[in-house]
């Protein structure tokens, strides 16, 4: 639909340009023709707007605003210049103006090409899902990415069951990947919440693609962090010692954020939402979410770097009952480097642990195992009291997020496989729910296959 809309708009622009250039219209005639062309394009869009495929959302909002603005501005300019002497409009000028309008239309229509009309997957649980949000402020830590002495802030987004007062549910805390954001696995949060979990998705400022602080300031990913991640991912010349140092720095920030968030959320739940550190601690919506948390049942999960941070925190917190690492290398298990080889933590991992691997990750891990190459994930799973691993065939790294569902274009460039994106996310959510049900609710015995081949 978006291709058809843009094609029609561009066709109107080209017809207007050709007619203006051929007729040698003066400025008054050109302005009148421009207004007619703008109005025609707006009318075309409004016709499509009455169809179910087009709405004034993120995909088409900018295009509608541009079309509406052009009609309004052109009308005002015509009224303001109606008494002025008309001037000749040359062919070159007409073509240049046409090119400018085409570029503006293409830019405004870009979100429709980058994103789909994805609105989430249907949930399987018996509860409706409610939401709340707050920003947690850690007065004990200075924000290392700022120089004004401000405290570290951690935005937290709650997804919880629409349940009766007095019901209590396990708490699951999620950490996104590098340059991710809190909505990266929205379908997973919704599925868990509909089945009786309070899910809190955290954002890690300067590690997330974008977020906001308590003053409403937009915070984007730190360029230094971006360079470091790209350096580690794209270069084979980086010494293992440097990789361990960088990853240790990233994980400390993440684990500290998660640890502080869990402590603050539990304290606020116990105090009825009045604990310090919550900017919106007194709101009724947030208070309802906090009142549902069962502090004796806590799960951690995350994607990529967030999964690694979850594994690290699961080793240190005695109140964590289950951990899921979604396609992340467990960098926190690297204790040092000797002769270019990682020195790995061999202490038993006492918390039930589930790992998802994309297909290439799984194959690389199996190669390391067969060739006796030290690899953190293999070491942890071999020493886990309850360790589970699985791989969905034909997956890439981003298939374990919702990104392929709402932006296939971006997801493909960041790494996806040929698996059906929706089927993959559904299977991941099904396994995730089964795992947490078994280890946080005591419902059934959990088992998982090494591979899943989806239709």
Structure confidence by residue, pLDDT tens digits, 52-75:
777 777 777 788 888 888 888 877
Residue 25's pLDDT is: 56
Q: Which of the four pLDDT bands, split at 50, 70 and 90, describes residue 281?
A: very low
In the predicted model, is pLDDT for residue 155 greater than 60? yes
Contact in structure between 160 and 130 (CB atoms under 8 Å): yes
Q: What is the mean pLDDT of the chain?
A: 87
CA 292/CA 166 separation, integer angstroms? 7
Q: H helices within 50-90, ranges in order? A: 61-80
387-392 and 353-357 strand pairing: parallel
pLDDT exceeds 70 at position 80: no
Give domain limits for the chain.
2-114, 129-452
Residue 188 reports pLDDT greater than 90? yes
**Is the per-residue pLDDT at 170 higher than 80?**
yes
- pTM of the predicted model as reported, rounded to 2 decimal places: 0.84
Confidence band, pLDDT 50/70/90 cuts, at residue 303:
very high
Question: How does 34-57 read in b/e, with b if 16+ C-beta sit within 10 Å?
Answer: bbebbebbbebbeeeeeeeebeee
Helix axes 223-234, 240-270, angle to 10 degrees: 130
For the domain with range 129-452, which CATH number is right: 3.40.50.720, 3.40.50.1820, 3.20.20.70, 3.40.50.1220? 3.40.50.1820
pLDDT at position 270 is 84
DSSP assignment of 130-148: EEEEEEEEEEEEE-TT-SS
Give residue 132's pLDDT band: very low, low, confident or very high (50, 70, 90). very high
Count CB neighbours of 210 within 10 A. 12
DSSP state of 85: P
Q: In what order do the strands lie in the sheet with 451-452?
A: 129-142, 151-161, 198-202, 169-175, 293-303, 320-326, 353-357, 387-392, 451-452
| C-alpha to C-alpha distance for 185 and 400, rounded to whole angstroms | 8
Tokens 């946080």 locate to 440
Q: Which residues pair with 136 in a beta bridge?
A: 154, 278
| Strand (E) or helix (H) holding 220 | strand 218-220
- The whole-number average pLDDT for the span 379-388 is 94
Q: Does the pLDDT value for residue 89 go beyond 80?
A: no
Given a cut of 80, whether residue 230 has pLDDT beyond it is: yes
Band (pLDDT 50/70/90 cuts) for residue 247 is confident
More confident residue, 23 or 396: 396
What per-residue confidence (pLDDT) applies to 90?
Answer: 61
Backbone angles phi, psi at 50, to 5 degrees: -80, -5
Q: What span, in angstroms and rounded, lies between the C-alpha atoms of 395 and 54?
A: 30
Residue indicated by tokens 């699985």: 390
362 or 45, higher pLDDT: 362
Q: What percent of the chain has pLDDT over 90?
A: 53
Closest C-alpha to 6, from 144, 132, 111: 111
Query: How far lies 312's CA from each of 142, 158, 198, 330, 335, in Å?
Result: 22, 22, 21, 8, 12
| The token pair that represents 78 in the structure block | 């015509």
Coil, helix or strand for 341?
Answer: strand
Asked whether the predicted pLDDT for residue 235 surpasses 80, the reply is no
Average pLDDT over residues 403-421: 92
**Residue in 400, 184, 197, 401 with CA at minimum distance from that of residue 300:** 197
């Amino acid at each position: 639909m978006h291709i058809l809309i843009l094609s029609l708009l561009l066709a109107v622009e080209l017809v207007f340009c050709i007619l203006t250039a051929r007729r040698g219209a003066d400025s008054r005639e050109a302005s009148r023709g421009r207004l007619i062309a703008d109005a025609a394009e707006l009318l075309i869009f409004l016709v499509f707007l009455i169809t179910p495929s087009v709405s004034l959302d993120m995909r088409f909002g900018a295009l509608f605003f541009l079309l509406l603005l052009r009609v309004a501005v052109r009308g005002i300019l015509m009224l303001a210049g109606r008494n002025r002497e008309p001037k000749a409009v040359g062919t070159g000028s007409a073509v240049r103006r046409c090119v400018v309008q085409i570029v503006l239309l293409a830019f405004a229509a870009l979100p429709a090409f980058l994103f789909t009309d994805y609105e989430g997957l249907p949930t399987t649980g018996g509860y409706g899902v409610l939401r709340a949000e707050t920003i947690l402020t850690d007065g004990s830590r200075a924000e290392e990415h700022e120089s004004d002495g401000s405290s570290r802030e951690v935005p937290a987004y709650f997804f919880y069951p629409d349940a009766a007062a007095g019901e209590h549910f396990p708490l699951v805390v999620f950490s996104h990947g590098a340059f991710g954001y809190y909505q990266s696995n929205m379908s997973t949060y919704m599925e868990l919440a509909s089945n009786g979990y309070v899910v809190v998705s955290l954002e890690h400022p300067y590690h997330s693609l974008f977020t906001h602080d308590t003053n409403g300031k937009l915070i984007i990913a730190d360029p230094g962090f971006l360079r470091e991640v790209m350096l580690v991912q794209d270069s084979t010349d980086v010494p293992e010692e440097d990789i361990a140092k960088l990853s240790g720095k990233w994980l400390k920030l993440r684990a500290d954020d998660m640890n502080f968030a869990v402590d603050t959320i539990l304290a606020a739940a116990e105090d009825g939402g009045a604990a310090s550190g919550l900017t919106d601690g007194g709101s009724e919506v947030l208070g309802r979410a906090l009142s549902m948390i069962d502090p004796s049942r806590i799960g951690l999960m995350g994607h990529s770097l967030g999964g690694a941070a979850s594994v690290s925190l699961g080793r240190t917190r005695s109140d964590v009952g289950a951990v899921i690492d979604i396609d992340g290398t467990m960098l926190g298990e690297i204790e040092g480097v000797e002769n270019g080889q990682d020195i790995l933590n061999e202490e038993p991992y006492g918390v039930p642990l589930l790992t998802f691997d994309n297909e290439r990750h799984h194959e690389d891990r199996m190669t390391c195992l067969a060739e006796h190459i030290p690899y953190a994930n293999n070491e942890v799973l071999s020493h886990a009291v309850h360790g589970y691993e699985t791989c969905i065939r034909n997956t890439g790294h981003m298939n374990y997020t919702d990104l392929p569902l709402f932006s296939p274009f971006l997801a493909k460039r960041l790494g996806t496989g040929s698996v059906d994106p929706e089927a993959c996310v559904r299977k991941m959510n099904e396994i995730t729910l089964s795992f947490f049900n078994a280890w946080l609710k005591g419902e059934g015995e959990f088992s998982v296959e090494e591979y899943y081949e989806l239709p």
